[in-house]
Structure 1
Amino acid sequence: MDIQNCTPEQWYKNENNWLEVLENESIWNQIPLLNVNELHNLKDSRLVRFRGMIQDMHGPEFYLEKFEVRNEDTQGITVKFGKYVDICDYRPNETVIMEGENIRSERQTYVAISIPAINSWVKKIEEERFKILSTPTPSTSSECIQLKRSLEEMEVDHTEPQPAEQSNVANKKQRTELSKPETESVVSQEHLLNFPIPDPSGRVCHLKVYRNAELLKLNSVCEFVGFLSVNPSLVCQNMDEGADEVEFQVHNPPPSLIPKLHCVHFKHLPHNNPLVNERGMVPERMQYIKKELLILLTQLLFGDELTAEYMIYHLISEVYLRKDFMAIGKFSLNVSNIPKIENLDYVQELYKFLTLLLTKSHYIAMSLENMNELTFIPKKDYTSNRLTSSVLQLSSNTHLVLDETKLSTGKLNETGINGVKALANAIKNQKTMYDFTYYQLEFDCDIPFLILSEGKSMLPSDVHIVLEPDEMHLNTFNEILEAARHFLKPDLLNEMRLYITQAKLTQYEITDGIQELVQNEFVNMRQKGNVSGDDLHNLLVLARLVCISQGKNTLNPECWKQACSLEEARKERIKKTVKQ
């Protein structure tokens, strides 16, 4: 079965068999990846893949899955199929038999965007693997006509929910002339793309989902396989009488800019690291790579090994459980006492190295201008009938680096105040507020925050550590940066990238025996000094990170004691700073 040349009609007639073919991972990976290929190199109505994040959810569409047409010349009756297509080969001399044995169905519609804040090394690997070098012959079919009907003409039961946009179904009364010029756009390209973080190489797809749509959640990351819909005649579709022009253009953008994808199957992606393979990394190798990573970060943090340890734990942290409204596993880190170096932006230099290690990250300079202009809260735009994205609409495990060293004196406006509140809420509760004008909704997120500041941050954090720079490292930091670049040989760098993702994927547990040890230790701590339940929670989170950083999936006494020692040293620094 040649899946590369499968048509929507062939898929519809033999769907179960085609789905079995897709279970073969090598065949799945042979399907062209839309993210790294130009649209003109991909054929209309052929299967493509798209990796993306669900950015918005539109209403359902109603369409004719199967319908009969009559040839007016011969009076012959033919069965046509409307599933997985926007446009059918519906001829000018054919008429839909509305009283025929037609099947009416519903499909869900979504907007998916390229994974936000994805770093360049990930894109480069994907391009090397999936970029198409040859240009296929474009389709020259000129007799395809768009099929669209209003819901009223479909005689839909009034108890069914009303869709946000109308579907493309058979209707000879609304045939579109292919020669009709495209209407002038009143909406900018930037507005149509609607990225939370600007991405020159980013892609947007309007998805039509026919099965398992309930599994798709806002901001979830998936890889979709579906039939590409980029027929030029899509730009000529008629706007319904009384419809808003802005909304119509947002929901029906030019296919050359935003194609449609009729999804036949999708799978959730637990990560987007292209280096991860089935073999993974053995614990002994993970321990070696951790030591190498510790050497690198210690040098970048002015010789401060304790802060470098906490940085590693921050990089491999994620929310692994939600219980009683708590996001367990979050490990936002505030590194204070960041020094100023003449003729060098230290935070920017550190961030450059983090982008080499992480699959997804974004840097925000918390200057007064940025805070007063950036939008952190996604908002429903009722004019366009869509969700306007914002900086905090990100997929899980997207690292945000907040640079508080850029703070300056001045007054925050309403946007700035709301931005600080949104950041604080996301850090503290791992939830992002969405503004629907008449009400607000909170959505779970999993964004590891790294806050770099001169004094203790004005934002909350799970862990605050005071950086202790070594004088020699301060004086020779330019040379250290150059040495760090030479240290990161390609093979070692790839192993560090794999290490961070592998640690996150480690299945972790605590045995009954260790639980008893932890309880006894905590009782001893309470007897010696002022230790709270929050301290125990933080220790358990840190102990887990210490454990998985070494490639171990079960907590042992050594990892627990190491976590206790780290916390003791960290708190001692804070006390010393307060006394000074």
Structure 2
Amino acid sequence: MDIETLTPRQWIENEEAYTKLLEDQNIRDKIPFLNVNKTEHFKNLSLVKFYGMVQDMDSPEYYLEKFEVINKITKQSTYVTGKYNENITVEDNEYVNFENSSNITSERQTFVVISVPAINSWVHTLDGKFRLDVTKNMQTEFSSNKRAYEETMDVEAGPSNVEKKVCSEVSKAPYTKSTSSNPKDIFPFPKEGEQVFHIKLYTNQDKLKINDVCEFVGFLDTFPTLIPEVCDAQMDTDALNAPASLYPRIHCVNYKKMKHNNPLLEEDTKIENIDVLRKDLLVVLTQLLLGDELAAEYLLYHLISQVYLRRDGLALGKFSLNISNIPSLPSYPIGLYKFIEKLLPKSIYLPMTLENLNDLTFVPKKNYELNYLSSGVLQLSNNTHVVLDETKLSPGKLNEAGLSNIKALSSCIKHQSLHYDFKFYPLEFDCDIPFLILSEGKSMIPSDVHVVLQPDEMCLNNFKEIVEAADHFLKPDLLNNIRKYLTSVRLIDYSLSEEIETFIQDEFVKMRQDKNATIDDLHGMLILARLVSISEGKKTLGESAWKKASEIEETRKIRIKN
């Protein structure tokens, strides 16, 4: 039996074996991919997979995991499972015996999962290889001789106090509600084709957090949702109007958190010629930074940075970069960003205009009336690079919202955490968002590293030609290899030996004697030296990497003083 044709009942009968099968990536790849296929092309309860970001979570709900169904004519009873299904369906000559003490009520958790925000177009293009021949998976009409019972219960009420919700014959039309009906503020950066699903999770609910990016495998529930026109008037209309009624559901049988979303890089991919790729990338970055080799080095380290450890309130590894002295060429910041966009799987460009600061919502906010989390500019998954263009800032006054947005940005950069607005209380969420700030003078926003750009006059006068040359230089194979390089070196399992730790202690003593260095200076050097090392494909720190980090830091600081 092909795994993609399994039904919920078949899965339940041999759940352990099928879950084991999903560990094989080749088996997993056979399951239809909803990110590039529409839900209306699938039959109800088809096994599918969806790759997305957890945007919100609902309250837990009860469902009937096992219940008795009785034939009205023969009085024969059978036990049916409600697991991995939204509705209980019975024949016209059957009914559900809700009073049977042997019925089993269980709990499941619902997560709102959206298309990963800020995915760049080249990732979508590569994902397109999973598009189906839709004629093989077209929806079929629902059988008209079955009645549907709404089995979901509010967990707060408890199973014993819930009034049975029985719906009359429902519409034959499959559930195909488009995302245009969704609240528009559920996506940080709305784009055509983005999707929202309610993922029903039966196990490991506590291991999933808001903003996690996962690949979910489960049964797509396209059965029509209950609507007031066809259901008992006593049903809870608030529940019917909740966002759950707008989204298709996936009853999850398995999920895995993703370390990255680069479709070019598989688990067993080995990157060769790292030195050559590093050199070629630095050539391109140096040209795009107008001949400035030092700025190119720091931009490379920024592109491969991530938070690798949290300790004592510190997010170690963050490497937000402020490049100042950006030339007054209107096309320069966006031209630079266009190349960053080509290299990274996820990125956004945000002009720091007065209008954007005053009008955009940066922090997610809970909407209690509709019971959903409205998104914000900064609700992003880990390793989404944000390019802030401060050169677009004009004189004017920040309103209250603008000041709050600047505060949120600063907190996000300094602590890699963000306080979501839950109206009655703020709730802190950790994040890992690398920020690149382009500014004329030193940015008004804090950063971990500040580099003063020193453009070459000839490059400054020929930026258009530089962009064309860089495009020509980055042939498809080289471009894809650089994309793989940037992701793979970030994932290197880096560690320090006892010998190297002793070396670092000795170096710190010298730093304190020569330059009155602080513990923050040591943290900064450790992070920079680590980035130098992994950019060269090394799993530990060597004396040469420490020396190189020291030299470029010295040059950077001299520039700032001058």
Of 466, 469, 475, the residue aligned with 2:455 is 469
Say if 2:345 is the partner of 1:359: yes
Secondary structure, counterpart of 2:282 in structure 1? helix
Amino acid at match of 2:121: S
Say if 2:301 is the partner of 1:327: no
Provide the rounded CA distance (Å) in 1 between the counterparts of 2:202 and 2:109.
Answer: 7
Give how far 1:132 is off: 3.9
State the match for 2:201 in structure 1.
Answer: 209
Question: Would the aligned equivalents of 1:64 and 1:170 in 2 still touch at CA under 8 Å?
Answer: no
Of 470, 482, 489, the residue aligned with 1:503 is 489
Of 270, 279, 302, the residue aligned with 2:259 is 270
Return 236-245 or 82-91, whichever deviates more.
236-245
Structure 1 pair 565–181 and aligned structure 2 pair: CA distance change class (3 A):
closer
Of 359, 378, 384, the residue aligned with 1:373 is 359
Correspondence list, 1:303-452, <5 A:
303-341=291-329, 344-452=330-438
How many residue pairs end up in the alignment? 556
Q: Percent identity between the aligned chains?
A: 51
Say if 2:166 is the partner of 1:177: no
TM-score by length of 1: 0.91
Amino acid at match of 1:274: P
Say if 2:84 is the partner of 1:84: yes
Question: Would the aligned equivalents of 2:200 and 2:249 in 1 still touch at CA under 8 Å?
Answer: yes
Question: Would the aligned equivalents of 2:166 and 2:232 in 1 still touch at CA under 8 Å?
Answer: no
Return 135-144 or 497-506, whichever deviates more.
135-144
State the match for 2:221 in structure 1.
Answer: 229
Structure 1 pair 170–102 and aligned structure 2 pair: CA distance change class (3 A):
farther
Structure 1 pair 547–201 and aligned structure 2 pair: CA distance change class (3 A):
same
Amino acid at match of 1:326: L
Amino acid at match of 1:15: E
Structure 1 pair 510–204 and aligned structure 2 pair: CA distance change class (3 A):
same
State the match for 1:148 in structure 2.
Answer: 150
Question: Would the aligned equivalents of 1:281 and 1:499 in 2 still touch at CA under 8 Å?
Answer: no
Give how far 1:277 is off: 2.5
State the match for 2:104 in structure 1.
Answer: 103
Secondary structure, counterpart of 1:17 in structure 2? helix
Amino acid at match of 1:289: L
Amino acid at match of 1:201: G
Give how far 1:131 is off: 4.1
Structure 1 pair 531–498 and aligned structure 2 pair: CA distance change class (3 A):
same
Question: Would the aligned equivalents of 2:185 and 2:375 in 1 still touch at CA under 8 Å?
Answer: no
Structure 1 pair 151–488 and aligned structure 2 pair: CA distance change class (3 A):
closer
Deviations 1:162-202 (A, max 9, x none): 48xx99x995x6223324999xx9x9725167112212121
Structure 1 pair 516–46 and aligned structure 2 pair: CA distance change class (3 A):
same
Secondary structure, counterpart of 1:252 in structure 2? helix
Question: Would the aligned equivalents of 2:33 and 2:130 in 1 still touch at CA under 8 Å?
Answer: no
Structure 2: state its 5+ residue gaps: none
TM-score by length of 2: 0.94
Provide the rounded CA distance (Å) in 1 between the counterparts of 2:295 and 2:157.
Answer: 55
Provide the rounded CA distance (Å) in 1 between the counterparts of 2:422 and 2:383.
Answer: 25
Say if 2:500 is the partner of 1:514: yes
State the match for 1:34 in structure 2.
Answer: 34
Provide the rounded CA distance (Å) in 1 between the counterparts of 2:163 and 2:86.
Answer: 10
Provide the rounded CA distance (Å) in 2 between the counterparts of 1:403 and 1:575.
Answer: 24
Amino acid at match of 1:320: Y
Provide the rounded CA distance (Å) in 2 between the counterparts of 1:324 and 1:562.
Answer: 29
Provide the rounded CA distance (Å) in 1 between the counterparts of 2:13 and 2:142.
Answer: 22
Deviations 1:496-516 (A, max 9, x none): 100110011001111222222
Give how far 1:86 is off: 1.2
State the match for 1:128 in structure 2.
Answer: 129
Deviations 1:412-448 (A, max 9, x none): 1111111000000000000011111111111100000
Give how far 1:476 is off: 0.9
Deviations 1:263-290 (A, max 9, x none): 01111101111111244334x6111101
Structure 1 pair 150–110 and aligned structure 2 pair: CA distance change class (3 A):
closer
Say if 2:18 is the partner of 1:18: yes
Secondary structure, counterpart of 2:285 in structure 1? helix
Amino acid at match of 2:143: S
Question: Would the aligned equivalents of 2:323 and 2:452 in 1 still touch at CA under 8 Å?
Answer: yes
Return 107-116 or 71-80, whichever deviates more.
71-80
Provide the rounded CA distance (Å) in 1 between the counterparts of 2:454 and 2:306.
Answer: 26
Question: Would the aligned equivalents of 1:147 and 1:175 in 2 still touch at CA under 8 Å?
Answer: yes
Return 134-143 or 71-80, whichever deviates more.
134-143
Provide the rounded CA distance (Å) in 2 between the counterparts of 1:520 and 1:145.
Answer: 76
Question: Would the aligned equivalents of 2:367 and 2:374 in 1 still touch at CA under 8 Å?
Answer: yes
Question: Would the aligned equivalents of 1:331 and 1:463 in 2 still touch at CA under 8 Å?
Answer: yes
Provide the rounded CA distance (Å) in 1 between the counterparts of 2:489 and 2:157.
Answer: 46
Structure 1 pair 493–170 and aligned structure 2 pair: CA distance change class (3 A):
farther
Amino acid at match of 2:241: Q
Give how far 1:136 is off: 2.0
Give how far 1:87 is off: 2.5
Provide the rounded CA distance (Å) in 2 between the counterparts of 1:293 and 1:271.
Answer: 20
State the match for 1:253 in structure 2.
Answer: 245
Provide the rounded CA distance (Å) in 2 between the counterparts of 1:233 and 1:521.
Answer: 66
Deviations 1:341-361 (A, max 9, x none): 2xx421111111111000100
Give how far 1:315 is off: 0.1
Provide the rounded CA distance (Å) in 2 between the counterparts of 1:132 and 1:509.
Answer: 47
Return 129-138 or 455-464, whichever deviates more.
129-138
State the match for 1:93 in structure 2.
Answer: 93
Amino acid at match of 1:435: D
Give how far 1:151 is off: 4.9
State the match for 2:269 in structure 1.
Answer: 280
RMSD: 2.4
Provide the rounded CA distance (Å) in 2 between the counterparts of 1:473 and 1:62.
Answer: 65
Secondary structure, counterpart of 1:232 in structure 2? coil
